[in-house]
Amino acid sequence: MLLAFPADPFAELDWEADRGAEMTLAEAWSVDELFAQFDAAVVDSRARVDAASSLDELSVHPDRHGEHWSLRWIVVHMIEEYARHCGHADLIRESIDGDVDS
């Protein structure tokens, strides 16, 4: 079975005109809106993982190369991305306060 993962609120963005369209959109949002979008994405993601019959289910929508990703790949990728961005936040904080032990 293929899993459908709609891209809203990013589905209508012009990715050809702006390769960083999601960042351009996010710049217009307040901090509260950013947190609300994040929280909604987390709730939606958890519901989709819970509803899947297997981590081997494939996405309905292919990537730009025509490939379909397994739910397993998507979950691992999201963990990887989240960890990477947390690491970036640590580097920013360390550059501000100099504390490398936190």
Q: What per-residue confidence (pLDDT) applies to 8? A: 67
The model's pTM? 0.65
In-domain check, residue 89: no
Domain ranges, residue 42: 2-69
Q: Is residue 84 in some structural domain?
A: no
pLDDT tops 80 at residue 37 = yes
Span 30-42, average pLDDT: 86
90 assigned to some structural domain: no
3-state secondary structure of 94: helix
Q: Determine, yes or no, domain membership for 75.
A: no
Rounded mean pLDDT, 63-82: 92
Residue 12 domain flag: yes
Closest by CA position to 26, among listed 40, 37, 41, 18: 37
Position 27 confidence tier, pLDDT thresholds 50, 70, 90: confident
Structural domain total, the chain: 1
